């Protein structure tokens, strides 16, 4: 399936190559570079590029293109999903996934890639299994290995490979047994000029960090499971149990994993926690435009909105902006025409605002379009859908684990049209 | 050499320096630097005791063995030894490396190793053997036949670890050998949910192809969907009969249904490729009414990263052309954001256009107005095209769209104006009758528009409809004649066309102008222009040389031209299987396997039969099947009878007979009894319910139609009796999540063997579905057998009627469920209960005051009686006088909350909260007497 992999940085350098079948010359990437040039922006490079003898399938993450070389028919999502899994694995192993990190750990990277595919077909992609085969580098282990000559490579087949719970390794031991669950919801919304909602949806995930000894069997139930309209699970979740009782029952992987992704039913009205008041105007024949935006809280259930960031792509005709924020810092890049304002917290008593003028190209007519405002924000201790975990129980082990549940709401793709 | 230091390190006696050397070499390989000259020094370390050194040597070998074949052979014996190692990881990796060394001379060794590994005790080693098959095949295709034997063997493997890999090998080596799949089909369907995600994708794609060769189309007209799982047990003669029937009514092959049912849960996979694989399977295999279940999951994938979005949107674009309805409810999920990459925007726009209809077009056009103003001009132009397509497809809005586009003609952006002109031109062509005004408006634009394609479009329009704008057309020709030499070729050609058409219709005013233009064209730099000029002159200007054609010049130039079709660019893609690379590229990729058309007549389904022992079902999601125990805490004792009854031991059967005698029906019961049963089931009378509780079983007997009664009595006299009784097992149904599980015990009360007991015709009210039991081949005298079936009552107490047939006869059976059996218990805390109850007030609440007999007022008795009467779960309660029960309806999963609050003087308040108010009030009525009677 997957013949070869090339990692390409922003400058267009191939800094790593790996082949799972016979070697494919790196000149195949020339087709990729051509497409890259045509696309002007990285995110417009087509994920699937045909060449005379191969197909190039790529994903773009952390400013790196992961380009897979394919020789024959394969479901494109198979390759794309796998490439994302490679990136996730690197992130898991090294904390961050960057060119420097990959270059510094090239041997581990190579060993991991070797285990992930055999003859181009995925072999081990569960991080729990991989970590038993190839231990992630730590400073301590590196020092110990140099002294004792021991290695990062395991010599036994990870038990997970053969068990019915392939995602969990055996013999897990902790002195502090803890299970943390983060319920994180993102609001995707388009708000029209007048402030009414054109479309709004909530996407949520439950990310878990479970460090429990032995083979714990967990159940997690919700106060209001019917809010969840559509869900996707980590393979550890027992589907039938969910179907019949709306309870998440699972033997967790060890460490960090995404337990559940969900979509909140579109029938439920989505609470919009912020509003943006805007007055952006251009006049014909004038080289000055007015710009004024205010951000305020709307339906926040009494919680504070923080980490507010406003950004907007201004029309080409805007030469510069002279603005004063009531709080936070702002930047306008006259080349890319991108305005960004780091607002911080919203204090309902004193609403943050950004006011001033725009200087426009002299003589040119006023731009047709008003810019769209993109918003980012965070609200701690709130799941905006109202989803609430009822309880978490553990079976199969005797000790009492420490359990924690955190809620957070964030802006996803949150846009205000002006 | 330049790598002298590395060679020395590799020769060193210390493992640490060897390891350092190998790490540096792997670093070189990763960067794409040539390290082949180190081969002899590296290969010596292939047998190193240090496992990391050994692994890195393997990495090196796989990279360079092909280039250094002779030297590579030195390592082979090491691998051969390792293949016998007691450690499975070592055996497996030895096979991996050995099979990755692309050296033709070792083909026989590889073949042997693969054969041995395919019988290894470790499934992990067998998995690696499956991978090695493909490697050997690409090295030496001549081994195909021998490799197919190994594939055949591994296809029989029951390990979920092997399944994905061997199917992958099958797809690469012998995808046409469908015959190898037959016997493994059911096993693959059953194992699927437990196979790792990558294997799932491969298996689902293969099974999609398989199904299209083995089953008949579920898309034929007058399709009646039936759940009939009988036919593969039937004899040949009956099969023939069936075949003849197939022509009339369609019956889905149970194996076809099995595949659909077992893939459905995978829509909830976290892996986008798995979800897409199931979606394409449903698209290509499911009855059209069922394909819609995949929409929601596909829309969910749109929240993933841009690459996934791109592929999913492409597939939705193709689907939305043929079946709009699938995605209409998700219209807004395709709204475009200014931050979407252009390729995503364009795909979303494509889908929105496909989904446009009379009902949503006004909303859509408003949305399109925003897009037209987008700073991304390429996207704005695409939106204008989209508006044009909506205008032609939905005649109600043609004028609105046209007006909107005309407004855009005064846009400041030239690309927008140009695109609008092009689209307006196409629209006007479809109905030019009364658009003189628009053409005039466009003629005025000529002074300002510079984009060649737009200018050309305007000129063509004026020429084509010059008789509708008789005053303006000659003037336009005059103006453009002046600018002719500076125009783009595209525009020049249209000026020539305009001249020609005017010459033919209005030669008095335009003869000289046209000749002037023709003269300019004659000396133009472009030979296309010169050719066209010569051609036109010959046609329109009569002279002695011009032939017969010039007589028809007007007909040629001003012929009625067909309006252009504004179609989706995705229209042609649907002949590729969805989810494939070929579909994405819209051209056949190397190795693409065509999906065959459904066969007219299905090949013999018996091909898939296997000896019973071979079919293994192991459901991980089912393994911890303690779910039923969870529901019934606090009620275990009385339920136990229930379960024991249905186990197969002789003992329990005797017990069962004692308990259920009353329920026995059909031919064995006398006519009075059955008629009373019949009437009671119709009225749902209290006494009926009472008798249920007395018998300790919430079941209800089968009743039959009067007509049949006599016949059966006669049979009884002749000693031909078949007794059937059924009850509700109160477990989640295995046949479908919305079905109520019903168990039927059939007893032969005659002295002769009864053969082929099966379900015949079903008469179900609209919406109801039934999944029958597998036919019972034969039943000895006095013998009895219990079988399961599932009925989706659609949360109603309507009766399901069907025929119970034997080889010789058939009986009508009706099952009407007591409302309490339409429920499944739900576990819930008191807090949850109160919260849910708080949301189900007002119309959703029904209550009554009931009498409670003194002996019934203790907690255990209340719980026992209520749970006996209805399949409810007990909610732990903090107060002694309040009892709470929770369940959900089987079909829709709506909550059903029951509260019994004891009051003074032997009364209690009975409250039911549910969205399903109808069954809520029926349940209230049925529960009322439960506590009052002794």
Element (H, E) at B455: helix B452-464
Q: Please name the residues between 128 and 167 in chain A that touch chain B, using a CB distance below 8 Å.
A: 146, 149, 151-157, 161-162, 164, 166
Whether B333 and A201 lie within 8 Å, measured CB to CB: yes
Bigger pLDDT: B932 vs B531 = B531
Task: Find out whether B910 and B928 touch, Cβ atoms under 8 Å.
Answer: yes
The answer on pLDDT for B709 being more than 90 is: no
Task: Find out whether A17 and A37 touch, Cβ atoms under 8 Å.
Answer: no
How many CB atoms lie under 10 A from the CB of residue B745?
A: 21
Element (H, E) at A7: strand A2-8
Residue A131 lies inside a defined structural domain of this protein: yes
Residue A159 lies inside a defined structural domain of this protein: no
Could you tell me whether strands B907-914 and B845-851 are parallel, antiparallel, or unpaired per DSSP bridges?
antiparallel
Could you tell me whether strands A178-191 and A14-19 are parallel, antiparallel, or unpaired per DSSP bridges?
unpaired
Q: Which of A103, A131, A148 is the last residue of a domain?
A: A148
Q: Which range among A288-297, B261-270, B798-807 shows the weakest confidence by mean pLDDT?
A: B798-807
Task: Find out whether B233 and B775 touch, Cβ atoms under 8 Å.
Answer: yes
User: Which residue do the tokens 């979509």 mark?
Assistant: A263
Q: Residue A324: give the domain boundaries.
A: 274-380
**Residue from B526, B459, B452, B468 nearest B498 by CA:** B459
Judged by DSSP in three states, A79 sits in helix
Number of domains in chain A: 3
Asked if B584 reaches chain A (Cβ–Cβ under 8 Å), the answer is: yes
In this structure, are A203 and A251 located in the same domain? yes
- Contact residues, chain A, for B412 at CB < 8 Å: 365, 368
Residue A416's pLDDT is what?
Answer: 94
In this structure, are A32 and A76 located in the same domain? yes
Bigger pLDDT: A156 vs B510 = B510
Nearest CA distance, B342 vs chain A (angstrom):
7
Whether A164 and B620 lie within 8 Å, measured CB to CB: yes
**Nearest beta carbon to residue B273 from set A81, A232, A235:** A81
Give the CATH number for residue A129: 3.30.450.60
In this structure, are A256 and A391 located in the same domain? yes
**Residue from A135, A165, A168, A154 nearest A255 by CA:** A168
The answer on pLDDT for B620 being more than 50 is: no
Whether A153 and B373 lie within 8 Å, measured CB to CB: no
Residue A157 lies inside a defined structural domain of this protein: no
In this structure, are A229 and A356 located in the same domain? no
Asked if B360 reaches chain A (Cβ–Cβ under 8 Å), the answer is: no
Bigger pLDDT: B675 vs B32 = B32
Q: What is the pLDDT of residues A20-73, one digit of tens each?
A: 998 999 999 999 999 999 988 889 999 999 999 999 999 999 999 999 999 999
Nearest CA distance, A349 vs chain B (angstrom):
32
Residue A409's pLDDT is what?
Answer: 95
Q: Please name the residues between 406 and 465 in chain B that touch chain A, using a CB distance below 8 Å.
A: 411-413
In this structure, are A227 and A317 located in the same domain? no
Average pLDDT over residues B520-524: 92
Q: Which residues does B227 contact at the CB level (< 8 Å), separation at least 6?
A: B252, B257, B735, B769, B770, B771, B772
CA separation, residue A253 to residues A93, A293, B866 (Å): 16, 46, 41
SS3 percent helix, strand, coil of chain A, rounded to 5, is: 20, 45, 40
> Which pair of tokens denotes residue B634?
């606090």
Average pLDDT over residues B692-707: 36
The answer on pLDDT for B222 being more than 50 is: no
Sheet holding B754-763, edge to edge: B776-779, B754-763, B800-805, B810-815
Could you tell me whether strands A255-264 and B907-914 are parallel, antiparallel, or unpaired per DSSP bridges?
unpaired
The answer on pLDDT for B691 being more than 80 is: no
CA separation, residue B568 to residues B369, B386, B392 (Å): 20, 9, 12
Q: Which of A148, A167, A200 is the last residue of a domain?
A: A148
Element (H, E) at B832: helix B830-839
Give the CATH number for residue A345: 2.60.40.1170
In this structure, are A230 and A289 located in the same domain? no
The answer on pLDDT for B782 being more than 70 is: yes
pLDDT band with cut points at 50, 70 and 90 for residue B861: confident
Whether A118 and B367 lie within 8 Å, measured CB to CB: no
Judged by DSSP in three states, B411 sits in coil
**Measured in whole angstroms, how far is the alpha carbon of residue B659 from the centre of its chain?**
46
Average pLDDT over residues B191-213: 94
Residue A127 lies inside a defined structural domain of this protein: yes
Whether B338 and A161 lie within 8 Å, measured CB to CB: no
Residue B223's pLDDT is what?
Answer: 46
Whether B168 and A121 lie within 8 Å, measured CB to CB: yes
> Which pair of tokens denotes residue B365?
């056009």
Question: Angle B507-522/B472-483 helices, nearest 10 degrees?
Answer: 20
**Mean pLDDT for chain B overall:** 81
In this structure, are A8 and A142 located in the same domain? yes
Residue A158 lies inside a defined structural domain of this protein: no
Percent of chain B at pLDDT > 70 equals 84
In this structure, are A61 and A140 located in the same domain? yes
Q: What is the pLDDT of residues B437-494, one digit of tens each?
A: 888 888 888 888 888 888 898 898 888 888 888 888 999 999 999 999 999 999 999 9
Nearest CA distance, B689 vs chain A (angstrom):
27
Residue A170 lies inside a defined structural domain of this protein: no
The answer on pLDDT for B629 being more than 70 is: no
A46/B340 Cα distance (integer angstroms): 14
Q: What is the pLDDT of residues B878-889, one digit of tens each?
A: 888 889 999 999
Nearest CA distance, B193 vs chain A (angstrom):
10
Whether A203 and B337 lie within 8 Å, measured CB to CB: no
**Mean pLDDT for chain A overall:** 89
Bigger pLDDT: B869 vs B220 = B869
Q: Which range among B39-53, B203-217, B563-577 shows the weakest confidence by mean pLDDT?
A: B563-577
Residue B711's pLDDT is what?
Answer: 40
What residues in chain A have per-residue pLDDT under 50? none
What are residue B266's phi and psi, to 5 degrees?
-70, -10
pTM: 0.72
Residue A31 lies inside a defined structural domain of this protein: yes
Whether A107 and B27 lie within 8 Å, measured CB to CB: yes
CA atoms within 13 A on the CB side of B14: 10
> Which pair of tokens denotes residue B645?
């009854």
Percent of chain B at pLDDT > 90 equals 35
In this structure, are A254 and A360 located in the same domain? no
How many CB atoms lie under 10 A from the CB of residue B469?
A: 19
Nearest CA distance, B915 vs chain A (angstrom):
13
What end-to-end distance do the CA atoms of chain B give, in Å?
A: 102
Per-residue burial over B554-576, b = 16 or more CB atoms within 10 Å of its CB, e = otherwise: beebbeeeeeeebebebeebeeb
**Residue from B528, B553, B526 nearest B539 by CA:** B553
Whether B276 and A231 lie within 8 Å, measured CB to CB: no
In this structure, are A320 and A335 located in the same domain? yes
Helical H runs in B118-159?
123-139, 144-155
Task: Find out whether B896 and B914 touch, Cβ atoms under 8 Å.
Answer: yes
The answer on pLDDT for B657 being more than 60 is: no
Residue A29's pLDDT is what?
Answer: 95
Residue A155 lies inside a defined structural domain of this protein: no
Residue B654's pLDDT is what?
Answer: 39
What end-to-end distance do the CA atoms of chain A give, in Å?
A: 47
Tally: H helices and E strands in chain B: 41, 14
**Nearest beta carbon to residue B338 from set A76, A80, A372:** A372
CA angle at B352 for the pair B350 and B357, rounded to the nearest 5°: 125
**Nearest beta carbon to residue B338 from set A22, A226, A313:** A313
B480/B491 Cα distance (integer angstroms): 9
Q: What is the pLDDT of residues B753-762, one digit of tens each?
A: 888 888 888 8
Task: Find out whether B804 and B761 touch, Cβ atoms under 8 Å.
Answer: no
Give the DSSP per-residue string, B487-507: S-HHHHHHHHHHHHHHHHH-H
> What ipTM was reported for this prediction?
0.92
In this structure, are A227 and A90 located in the same domain? no
> Which pair of tokens denotes residue B214?
């083995």
The answer on pLDDT for B319 being more than 60 is: yes
In this structure, are A186 and A288 located in the same domain? no
**Residue from A344, A405, A333 nearest A378 by CA:** A344
The answer on pLDDT for B670 being more than 50 is: no
Asked if A19 reaches chain B (Cβ–Cβ under 8 Å), the answer is: yes
**Nearest beta carbon to residue B373 from set A72, A154, A369:** A369
pLDDT band with cut points at 50, 70 and 90 for residue B30: very high
Bigger pLDDT: B716 vs B218 = B218
Asked if A261 reaches chain B (Cβ–Cβ under 8 Å), the answer is: yes
Q: Which of A101, A126, A148 is the last residue of a domain?
A: A148
């Amino acid at each position: 399936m997957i013949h070869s992999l090339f990692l390409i940085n922003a400058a267009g350098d191939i800094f790593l190559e790996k082949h799972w079948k016979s070697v494919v010359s790196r000149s195949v990437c020339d087709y990729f570079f051509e497409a890259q040039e045509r696309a002007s922006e990285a995110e417009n490079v087509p994920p699937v590029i045909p060449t005379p003898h191969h197909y190039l399938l790529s994903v773009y993450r952390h400013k790196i293109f992961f380009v897979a070389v394919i020789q024959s028919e394969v479901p494109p999502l198979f390759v794309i999903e796998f490439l994302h899994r490679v990136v996730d694995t690197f992130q898991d192993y090294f904390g961050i996934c960057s060119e420097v990190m990959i270059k510094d750990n090239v041997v581990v990277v190579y060993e991991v890639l070797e285990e992930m595919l055999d003859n181009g077909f995925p072999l081990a992609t569960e991080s729990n299994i991989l970590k038993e085969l190839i231990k992630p580098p730590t400073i301590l282990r590196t020092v110990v290995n140099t002294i004792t000559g021991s290695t990062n490579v395991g010599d036994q087949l990870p038990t997970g490979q053969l068990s019915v719970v392939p995602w969990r390794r055996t013999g897990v031991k902790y002195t502090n047994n803890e299970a943390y669950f983060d319920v994180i919801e993102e609001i995707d919304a388009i708000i029209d000029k007048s402030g009414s909602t054109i479309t709004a949806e909530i996407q949520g995930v439950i990310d878990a960090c479970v460090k429990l000894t032995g083979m714990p069997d967990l159940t997690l139930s919700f106060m209001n499971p019917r809010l969840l309209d559509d869900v996707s699970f980590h393979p550890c979740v027992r589907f039938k149990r969910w179907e019949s009782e709306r309870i998440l029952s699972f033997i967790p992987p060890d460490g960090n994993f995404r337990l559940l992704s969900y979509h909140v039913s579109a029938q439920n009205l989505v609470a919009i926690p912020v509003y943006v008041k805007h007055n952006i105007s251009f006049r014909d024949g004038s080289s000055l435009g007015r710009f004024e935006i205010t951000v305020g809280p709307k339906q926040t259930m009494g919680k504070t909105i923080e980490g507010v960031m406003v950004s907007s792509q201004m029309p080409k005709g805007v030469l510069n902006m002279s603005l004063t924020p009531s709080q936070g810092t702002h930047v306008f890049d006259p080349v890319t025409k991108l305005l960004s304002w780091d607002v911080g917290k919203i204090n309902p008593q004193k609403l943050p605002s950004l006011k001033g003028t725009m200087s426009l190209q002299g003589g040119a007519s006023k731009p047709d379009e008003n810019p769209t405002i993109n918003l980012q924000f965070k609200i701690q201790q709130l799941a905006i859908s109202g989803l609430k975990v009822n309880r978490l129980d553990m079976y199969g082990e005797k000790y009492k684990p420490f359990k924690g549940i955190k809620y957070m709401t964030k802006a996803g793709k949150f846009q205000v049209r002006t | 050499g330049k790598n002298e230091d590395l060679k020395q390190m590799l020769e060193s006696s210390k493992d640490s320096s060897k390891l350092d050397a190998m790490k540096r070499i792997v670093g070189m390989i990763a960067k794409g630097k040539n390290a082949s000259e180190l081969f002899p020094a590296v290969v010596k370390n292939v047998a190193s005791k240090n496992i990391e050194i050994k692994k890195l040597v393997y990495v090196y070998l796989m990279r360079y063995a092909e280039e250094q074949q002779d030297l590579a052979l030195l390592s082979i014996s090491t691998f051969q030894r390792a293949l016998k190692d007691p450690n499975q990881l070592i055996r497996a990796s030895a096979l991996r490396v050995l099979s990755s060394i692309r050296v033709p001379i070792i083909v026989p060794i590889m073949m042997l190793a693969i054969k041995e590994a395919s019988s290894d005790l470790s499934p992990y080693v067998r998995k690696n053997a499956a991978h090695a098959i493909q490697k050997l095949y690409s090295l030496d295709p001549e081994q195909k036949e021998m490799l197919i034997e190994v594939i055949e063997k591994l296809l029989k493997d029951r390990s979920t670890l092997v399944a994905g890999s061997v199917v992958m090998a099958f797809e690469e080596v012998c995808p046409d050998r469908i015959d190898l799949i037959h016997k493994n089909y059911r096993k693959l369907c059953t194992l699927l949910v437990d196979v790792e995600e990558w294997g799932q994708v491969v298996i689902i794609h293969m099974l999609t192809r398989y199904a299209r060769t083995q089953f008949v189309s579920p898309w034929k007209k007058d399709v009646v969907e039936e759940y009939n799982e009988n036919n593969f047990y039937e004899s040949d003669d009956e099969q023939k009969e069936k075949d003849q029937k197939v022509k009339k009514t369609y019956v889905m092959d149970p194996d076809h249904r099995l595949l659909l049912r077992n893939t459905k849960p995978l829509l909830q996979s976290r892996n986008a490729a798995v979800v897409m694989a199931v979606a394409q399977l449903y698209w290509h295999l499911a009855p059209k009414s069922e394909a819609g279940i995949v929409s929601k999951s596909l829309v969910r994938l749109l929240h993933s990263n841009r690459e996934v979005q791109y592929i999913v949107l492409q597939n939705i674009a193709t689907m939305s052309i043929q079946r709009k309805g699938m995605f209409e409810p998700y219209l807004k999920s395709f709204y475009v954001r200014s931050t979407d990459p252009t390729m995503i925007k364009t795909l979303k726009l494509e889908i929105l256009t496909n989904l446009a209809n009379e009902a949503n077009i006004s909303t859509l056009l408003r949305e399109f107005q925003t897009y037209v103003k987008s700073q991304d001009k390429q996207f704005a132009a695409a939106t204008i095209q989209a508006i044009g397509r909506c205008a032609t497809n939905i005649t109600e809005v043609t004028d609105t769209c046209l007006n909107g586009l005309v407004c855009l003609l005064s846009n400041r952006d030239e690309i927008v104006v140009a695109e609008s002109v092009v689209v307006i031109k196409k629209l006007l062509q479809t109905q030019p009758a009364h658009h003189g005004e628009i053409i005039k408006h466009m003629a005025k634009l000529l002074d300002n528009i510079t984009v060649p394609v737009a200018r050309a479009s305007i000129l063509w329009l004026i020429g084509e409809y010059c008789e509708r704008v008789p005053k303006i057309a000659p003037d336009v020709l005059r103006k453009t004649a002046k600018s002719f030499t500076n125009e783009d070729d595209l525009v020049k050609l249209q000026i020539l066309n305009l001249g020609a058409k005017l010459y033919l219709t209005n030669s008095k005013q335009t003869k000289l102008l046209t000749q002037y233009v023709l003269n300019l064209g004659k000396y133009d730099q472009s030979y296309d222009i010169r050719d066209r000029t010569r051609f036109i002159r010959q046609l329109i200007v009569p002279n002695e040389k011009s032939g017969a054609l010039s007589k028809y010049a007007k007909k040629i130039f001003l012929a009625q031209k067909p309006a252009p079709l504004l179609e989706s660019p995705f229209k042609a893609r649907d002949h590729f299987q969805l989810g494939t690379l070929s579909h994405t590229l819209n051209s056949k990729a190397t190795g693409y396997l065509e999906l065959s058309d459904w066969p007219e007549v299905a090949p013999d389904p018996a091909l898939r039969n296997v000896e019973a022992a071979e079919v293994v079902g192991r459901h991980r999601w089912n393994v911890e099947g303690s779910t039923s125990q969870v529901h019934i805490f606090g009620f275990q004792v009385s339920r136990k009878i229930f379960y024991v009854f249905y186990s197969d031991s002789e003992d329990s059967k005797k017990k069962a007979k004692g308990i259920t005698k009353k329920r026995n029906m059909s031919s064995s019961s006398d006519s009075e009894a059955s008629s009373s049963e019949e009437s009671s089931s119709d009225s749902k009378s209290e006494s009926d319910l009472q008798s249920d509780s007395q018998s300790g079983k919430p079941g209800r007997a089968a009743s039959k139609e009067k007509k049949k009664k006599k016949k059966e009595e006669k049979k009884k006299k002749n000693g031909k009796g078949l007794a059937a009784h059924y009850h509700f097992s109160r477990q989640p149904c295995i046949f479908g999540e919305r079905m109520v599980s019903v168990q039927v015990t059939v007893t032969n009360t005659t002295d002769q063997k009864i053969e082929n007991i099966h379900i015949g015709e079903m008469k179900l009210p609209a919406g109801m579905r039934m999944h029958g039991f597998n036919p019972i081949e034969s039943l000895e005298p006095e013998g009895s057998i219990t079988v399961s079936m599932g009925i989706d009552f659609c949360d109603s107490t309507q009766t399901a009627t069907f025929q119970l047939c034997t080889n010789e006869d058939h009986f009508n059976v009706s099952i009407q469920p007591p409302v309490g059996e339409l429920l499944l218990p739900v576990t819930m805390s008191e807090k949850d209960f109160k919260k849910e109850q708080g949301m189900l007030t007002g119309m959703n609440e029904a209550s009554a005051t009931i009498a409670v007999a003194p002996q019934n007022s203790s907690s255990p008795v209340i719980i026992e009686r209520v749970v006996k009467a209805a399949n409810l779960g007990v909610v732990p309660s903090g107060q002694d006088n309040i009892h709470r029960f929770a369940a959900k309806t089987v079909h829709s999963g709506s909550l059903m909350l029951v509260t019994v609050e004891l009051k003074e003087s032997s009364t209690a308040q009975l409250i039911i909260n549910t969205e399903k108010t109808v069954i809520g009030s029926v349940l209230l009525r049925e529960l009322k007497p439960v506590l009052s009677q002794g």
